[in-house]
Structure 1
Amino acid sequence: MKEKKIALADRSTKIIPIQWDATYFFERAVRSMDRYHYDKALKYFRRAAEYEPENPVNHCNMAGILSEMGNYEESNRILDSIVNELDPEMTECHFYMANNYANMEMYEAAEDSLVRYLEEDAEGQFLEEAEEMMELLHYELERPTKLAFIKAREGFFEHDRARAMLEDGKFAEAVRLLESIVEKNGEFLAARNNLALAYYYMGMFDKAMATIKQVLELESGNLHALCNLAIFYQHAGDKEELAPLVELLCKTVPFHQEHVFKLATTMGILGEHGEAYRHFMRLLKDGALKSDPCLFHYAAVAACNMGRYDESRRLWQQVKKLDPESHVPGYYLEQLERMENGQHAAPASYHYHLPFEEQFRLWEKSTESLPDHMKRDPLVRSSFFWALRHGDRHTKLQVIQALGMIADNEVKDALREFIIEPQEDDYLKRIAIFVLRSIGVHESLHAILEGEETVIEHSRMPSRLPIWEDKWQSVLEAALARMNKHYDLVQQHDLLTLWIEFLSRVYPDVPKFGKVEGWAAALEYLTAKMHRREISYHEVSQRYGVSIATVSKCAKRIDEICGIKEKMRMIFPALADHRE
């Protein structure tokens, strides 16, 4: 017995110590969760967090268990402390908080957390779940979610905004946004395609061509890019490059509705009207777009160009039913009879608006301002910007006046660029400067006039006079204030030019101006005469509140110096001397 005790004493006792650390308690917590023992799991996660208080994962796990147990408020308190104190990069905590708030039916708070998650999380781990929650919140709050940006889809949301800008005719804004998207994500081909179109709409043809070729370098079969390239080749008159591309497009039969529509409109622009008609009719037979007046118009134009006048009449009559307020179907139905008799060419444009010349004709008939539909229509705006770069002198003059009536930031940017173009006509640039001032651009303007770079300050008129007196400005303002609704911008600019010419010729012996209204009335009178408008001394004297003698005296003085009547005789030799 004694020997046995000794033998037992000789054995070395092996005790395995337990490692009490965060990992141990984490593993115990996970095993408890697997068995749905949430109380034990919570206890173990708390112990793990005690061992590693700076580790946000342990705290996040604890918040997750609390949420499973229905303790949403405590869960959110922990999640909030994680993103505000431990690790702001754990953006998924905002998604967990959104879930907790939704379970508490606190939908406004849920929306705030969800939006923060989507705007901060770059990985998009819970993107699909977040989109499902957005639908729930939309339903509960009865309004769209207040979301401006999804970081995990960086560029996609902004791209939608840029497309909306293009549809609204805000081309310069769209260009700035699309350029930033492409700079961040060079493989975002849809953004590159739309950037090319934006350049094209603004008349920046070289940039448009370079951008579309970049798309095709990245994806040679991109249908949108191929269609855009074909249109650009046609614009450039490059028949050699265009022919094989048209042949390829004629063989293309796209499946997706968006691609069918793109190809159809492209073939119409390229003059392949049979192909365009075939694709447009595919879309109409599909039924999804059967209430779209634009689509019926496009099909009507294609049919008309094919000589199928009965079909085009039927289609335009359908447009009239779908869009009774539009001028477009009525205009083309009126022209159709002349087309059938060969007296009028078939429409060259597939755009759903009146021809450019017809737009101007309607505007000129409206007397006072540009019709609202012309201001809003992005295709009309595109026509204006294109004509400002590529139109003839007369068209550019009309466009500058029209842009002055639109008067938004897009217009201001376009006119600022116009006045620094060396090849543009100086008179047109001076009109553009006048328009910029009249629509509220008060900062210094950089222009190229008479071949030299010039800075035009707001406090000075664009003249060579060494000074500009307040009294002279008062005369000008008195005239322009009364002319505003009765004279177009060109005529107002010509009054300004006449006043500067008079002052420049008499300087420094400028007469002492008593009643500024007398000189202002004289300027209006002479400007009206230069533009062959009906006017009398009596009429202007009444409107300016001065005597006929005062207006006559001032007008004769300006005429003596500037030779207005002599210039008019040279321009209109058959015009007899005017007698009051």
Structure 2
Amino acid sequence: MIERTSENVAEGSNVISVTLDANFFFERAVRSLDRFQYDKALKNFRKAVEYEPENPVNHCNMAGILSEMGDYEASNDILIHVLEKIDPAMTECHFYMANNFANMESFEEAERSLVTYLEEDASGEYLAESEELMELLQYELNRPAPLIRIRSREGVVEHDRARTLLEEGKFPQAVKMLEEITKNTPDFLAAHNNLALAYFYMGRFAKAKECLSEVLEQDPGNLHALCNMAIFMQYAGDKEQLAVLLRMLEATVPFHQEHVFKMATTMGILGRHRTAYGHFRRLLKDEEVGGDAGLYHYCAAAASNSSLYNEALRCWRQAAKLDPESAVPGFFLSQLQGAQAEGRPMPLVSYNYQLPFQEQLKQWQGNTDSFTEEMRNNPLLRASFFWALRYGDANTRLQVTEALRWIEDEEMSEVLNGLLAQEPLQEDKLQEAALLSLQRLIGSSPDANAAPQEELPPLSHKGPPEWKEDWQRVLDHTASMMDRRYDAIQKKDAELLWKQFVSDLYPDVPYFRHTGGWAAALEYLTAKLHDRPITYREVAQHYGVSASMVSRYARRISNECDIPGSLPGQETLPSSTENI
């Protein structure tokens, strides 16, 4: 550092020595900035750079002044010099350049610089400002930014995609993506919440509650998690805990638009329609969303379900004006007006902005092409079909399952697989319809060499009035041993076969003491029905039983259920006597 004085003075004079260094000129530049004297500030920052040319901060200060003066190109030249010649780790230079390019309306260059900043600095100082700038650039460029590789937004892009899949009713794909996100970023609470919803829609209630518990451990006041937990409690029949949680939620007045909507829809699902109506009314006063036809339908549904019929009529009429092409407002207006004319109460109305499920099915009867097109292009409809499969009554589930066989879609195969793989279905017709639909979908796949799957004999409708513990043990053991080695339809076939066997034996069903032997026989027969190569010895070794036991039990099941051609010729086996 060089020390200079203003004049050569005589010894003992009262003149104060002034040190001319980078700090001196920096302080003078700052004072000039405070007075908005940009020319003087620039001159002093340039002097600071002369004294400390390797200090990147001084260069950036000079670039900042030039930007304030509107000389964006000169500012960027300095920033490029810093990155190339002085300190490549000065990542904020990319953010400054992005702002300069945006001011020059060079939006492509601005986007490139901003993405570079976000890619190179995962915890930078300007992340919040970067989000705002990114929104501006997306608006100007009329497209989203390429943010796939940005560490600072790790999981965000994937989460947005997963949310889209969830909204489209593509639950299996959403689950896969959300599981990966939550594994990599365990503190990403929104991803946990959406994963819980995806699990719930697929009927995986235990996993759904586990996800929510993880969220509430990190953030006990998370409104989305609390609302979702309340819904899960209702479906689980947990009335006591639900009552406590509901009292807390009903006393909550959310502020943010997203939270108001979440609370409104949650209250509607939980049957607190008057509370839901109040929240929806609040949203209608918001200019951003108040012109949405769907929101007017939600408010109308809440009003109708609260017996506020005049308000419901007003809202549906407004929805019809905002969305004249939709049949939904007109349908419910007609229903409500008919109910009022006859002096009867209006049935409960779904909050989904679409025609009632049964009404949609009627419209598509005999017109599979229209149905197929609508299912592929209407995310809400797909979601409602999946929901009906899981929570509809027996007749609705049967209709949906039969309808799905005409949608040649990999996702539909996954949904039907999931339906069959979950808890045993109680309705035999629904089991058969699901299997037939799934087999048709599999048969229509591009693999022309795939062997057609053989159908099991239908279950008898007469059967035992209650299911015994030893019968269920065989089923559980079989399912456990077949897991990961057989697909869902094959495991379901094993279950159906066992139920057929027990049903045919009833009322003279013995006590099944050798669980492993019966389970092994069940797997053996299922494998044969699906043309899988297997021997008695192989399956016996897997289950830890004797091959003779497997042979004998398999023949007993086969003979009782009249399964033609399911067993090979007699194998040479060591003799053994086993009791049931």
TM-score by length of structure 1 reads 0.62
Deviation readout 1:233-275 (Å, 9 max, x if unpaired)? 2212222322233333333333333333222222222222222
Post-superposition offset of 1:346? 1.3
* 1:385 and 2:401 aligned: no
Using a 3 Å threshold, how does the CA distance of structure 1 residues 315 and 456 change in structure 2: closer, same or farther? same
Whether the 8 Å contact between 2:402 and 2:433 is mirrored in structure 1 is no
Counterpart position of 2:145 = 146
Whether the 8 Å contact between 2:368 and 2:406 is mirrored in structure 1 is no
Counterpart mapping for 1:429-578 below 5 A? 429-440=435-446, 446=487, 447-448=489-490, 450-451=493-494, 464=531
Post-superposition offset of 1:116? 1.8
Whether the 8 Å contact between 1:277 and 1:302 is mirrored in structure 2 is yes
Q: Distance between the aligned counterparts of 1:465 and 1:259, measured in 2?
A: 53
Amino acid at match of 2:126: F
Amino acid at match of 2:237: G
Whether the 8 Å contact between 1:400 and 1:432 is mirrored in structure 2 is no
Moved more, 428-437 or 399-408: 399-408
Greater Rg by CA? 1
* 1:258 and 2:258 aligned: yes
Counterpart position of 2:274 = 274
Amino acid at match of 1:160: D
Counterpart position of 1:539 = none
Using a 3 Å threshold, how does the CA distance of structure 1 residues 463 and 215 change in structure 2: closer, same or farther? closer
Q: Distance between the aligned counterparts of 1:290 and 1:136, measured in 2?
A: 24
Counterpart position of 1:330 = 330
Tell me the secondary structure at the aligned position of residue 370 of structure 1: helix
Post-superposition offset of 1:280? 2.3
Using a 3 Å threshold, how does the CA distance of structure 1 residues 283 and 401 change in structure 2: closer, same or farther? same
Post-superposition offset of 1:147? 3.2
Amino acid at match of 1:350: Y
Counterpart mapping for 1:340-379 below 5 A? 340=340, 341=342, 346-370=347-371, 372-379=373-380
Using a 3 Å threshold, how does the CA distance of structure 1 residues 29 and 311 change in structure 2: closer, same or farther? closer
Q: Distance between the aligned counterparts of 1:358 and 1:419, measured in 2?
A: 26
Q: Distance between the aligned counterparts of 1:62 and 1:286, measured in 2?
A: 47
Using a 3 Å threshold, how does the CA distance of structure 1 residues 130 and 212 change in structure 2: closer, same or farther? closer
Counterpart position of 2:246 = 246
Deviation readout 1:51-85 (Å, 9 max, x if unpaired)? xxxxxxx57866876897865676466456469xx
Q: Distance between the aligned counterparts of 1:319 and 1:239, measured in 2?
A: 35
Amino acid at match of 2:490: I
Counterpart position of 1:564 = none
Q: Distance between the aligned counterparts of 2:322 and 2:104, measured in 1?
A: 47
Q: Distance between the aligned counterparts of 2:222 and 2:145, measured in 1?
A: 34
Counterpart position of 1:310 = 310
Q: Distance between the aligned counterparts of 1:296 and 1:284, measured in 2?
A: 7
Whether the 8 Å contact between 1:338 and 1:344 is mirrored in structure 2 is no
Whether the 8 Å contact between 2:209 and 2:229 is mirrored in structure 1 is yes
Using a 3 Å threshold, how does the CA distance of structure 1 residues 398 and 161 change in structure 2: closer, same or farther? same
- Cα RMSD for the two superposed structures: 4.3
Post-superposition offset of 1:189? 2.7
Using a 3 Å threshold, how does the CA distance of structure 1 residues 233 and 463 change in structure 2: closer, same or farther? closer
Amino acid at match of 2:440: F
Post-superposition offset of 1:377? 3.5
Whether the 8 Å contact between 1:328 and 1:352 is mirrored in structure 2 is yes
* 1:284 and 2:284 aligned: yes
Whether the 8 Å contact between 2:22 and 2:48 is mirrored in structure 1 is yes
Post-superposition offset of 1:432? 0.2
* 1:124 and 2:160 aligned: no
Q: Distance between the aligned counterparts of 1:358 and 1:249, measured in 2?
A: 34
Counterpart mapping for 1:16-165 below 5 A? 28-29=21-22, 31=24, 36-37=43-44, 41-45=48-52, 48=54, 75=78, 78=81, 81=84, 91-98=91-98, 107-131=107-131, 133-134=133-134, 137=137, 142-144=141-143, 146-149=145-148, 150-165=150-165
Post-superposition offset of 1:372? 4.0
Counterpart position of 1:550 = none
Q: Distance between the aligned counterparts of 2:246 and 2:220, measured in 1?
A: 15
Whether the 8 Å contact between 1:169 and 1:376 is mirrored in structure 2 is no
Q: Distance between the aligned counterparts of 1:30 and 1:59, measured in 2?
A: 14
Q: Distance between the aligned counterparts of 2:143 and 2:435, measured in 1?
A: 46
Using a 3 Å threshold, how does the CA distance of structure 1 residues 202 and 178 change in structure 2: closer, same or farther? same
Post-superposition offset of 1:375? 3.5
Q: Distance between the aligned counterparts of 1:318 and 1:17, measured in 2?
A: 78
Identity level (%): 46
Moved more, 278-287 or 448-457: 448-457
Q: Distance between the aligned counterparts of 1:124 and 1:398, measured in 2?
A: 55
Whether the 8 Å contact between 2:416 and 2:434 is mirrored in structure 1 is no
Q: Distance between the aligned counterparts of 2:361 and 2:223, measured in 1?
A: 35
Post-superposition offset of 1:392? 6.4
Post-superposition offset of 1:359? 2.0
Deviation readout 1:288-344 (Å, 9 max, x if unpaired)? 433122222222222222333333222222221111111212221222245333667
Post-superposition offset of 1:122? 0.6
Q: Distance between the aligned counterparts of 2:295 and 2:126, measured in 1?
A: 39
Using a 3 Å threshold, how does the CA distance of structure 1 residues 504 and 259 change in structure 2: closer, same or farther? same
Q: Distance between the aligned counterparts of 1:123 and 1:279, measured in 2?
A: 37
Tell me the secondary structure at the aligned position of residue 365 of structure 2: helix
Q: How many residue pairs get matched? A: 431
TM-score by length of structure 2 reads 0.62
Using a 3 Å threshold, how does the CA distance of structure 1 residues 398 and 435 change in structure 2: closer, same or farther? farther
Counterpart position of 1:410 = 411
* 1:428 and 2:434 aligned: yes
Post-superposition offset of 1:435? 0.7
Whether the 8 Å contact between 1:293 and 1:319 is mirrored in structure 2 is yes
Post-superposition offset of 1:138? 5.5
Whether the 8 Å contact between 1:404 and 1:436 is mirrored in structure 2 is no
Q: Distance between the aligned counterparts of 1:225 and 1:131, measured in 2?
A: 25
Tell me the secondary structure at the aligned position of residue 265 of structure 1: helix
Q: Distance between the aligned counterparts of 2:424 and 2:376, measured in 1?
A: 28
Q: Distance between the aligned counterparts of 2:106 and 2:184, measured in 1?
A: 37
Using a 3 Å threshold, how does the CA distance of structure 1 residues 368 and 253 change in structure 2: closer, same or farther? same
Using a 3 Å threshold, how does the CA distance of structure 1 residues 399 and 454 change in structure 2: closer, same or farther? farther
Using a 3 Å threshold, how does the CA distance of structure 1 residues 34 and 261 change in structure 2: closer, same or farther? same
Amino acid at match of 1:252: T
Whether the 8 Å contact between 1:418 and 1:429 is mirrored in structure 2 is no
Using a 3 Å threshold, how does the CA distance of structure 1 residues 439 and 128 change in structure 2: closer, same or farther? same
Using a 3 Å threshold, how does the CA distance of structure 1 residues 435 and 338 change in structure 2: closer, same or farther? same
Q: Distance between the aligned counterparts of 2:117 and 2:327, measured in 1?
A: 48
Moved more, 441-450 or 108-117: 441-450
Q: Distance between the aligned counterparts of 2:279 and 2:99, measured in 1?
A: 47
Using a 3 Å threshold, how does the CA distance of structure 1 residues 393 and 428 change in structure 2: closer, same or farther? farther
Using a 3 Å threshold, how does the CA distance of structure 1 residues 369 and 200 change in structure 2: closer, same or farther? same
* 1:223 and 2:257 aligned: no
Using a 3 Å threshold, how does the CA distance of structure 1 residues 413 and 28 change in structure 2: closer, same or farther? farther
Whether the 8 Å contact between 2:99 and 2:110 is mirrored in structure 1 is yes
Q: Distance between the aligned counterparts of 2:323 and 2:261, measured in 1?
A: 20
Whether the 8 Å contact between 1:335 and 1:344 is mirrored in structure 2 is no
Using a 3 Å threshold, how does the CA distance of structure 1 residues 292 and 71 change in structure 2: closer, same or farther? closer
Whether the 8 Å contact between 2:91 and 2:120 is mirrored in structure 1 is yes
Amino acid at match of 2:226: L
Whether the 8 Å contact between 1:456 and 1:462 is mirrored in structure 2 is yes
Whether the 8 Å contact between 1:202 and 1:382 is mirrored in structure 2 is no
Whether the 8 Å contact between 1:465 and 1:504 is mirrored in structure 2 is no
Using a 3 Å threshold, how does the CA distance of structure 1 residues 105 and 374 change in structure 2: closer, same or farther? closer
Whether the 8 Å contact between 1:42 and 1:66 is mirrored in structure 2 is no
Post-superposition offset of 1:197? 1.5
Q: Distance between the aligned counterparts of 2:310 and 2:136, measured in 1?
A: 51
Q: Distance between the aligned counterparts of 1:180 and 1:464, measured in 2?
A: 35
Deviation readout 1:391-422 (Å, 9 max, x if unpaired)? 56765554345445554553343244456558
Whether the 8 Å contact between 1:29 and 1:40 is mirrored in structure 2 is yes
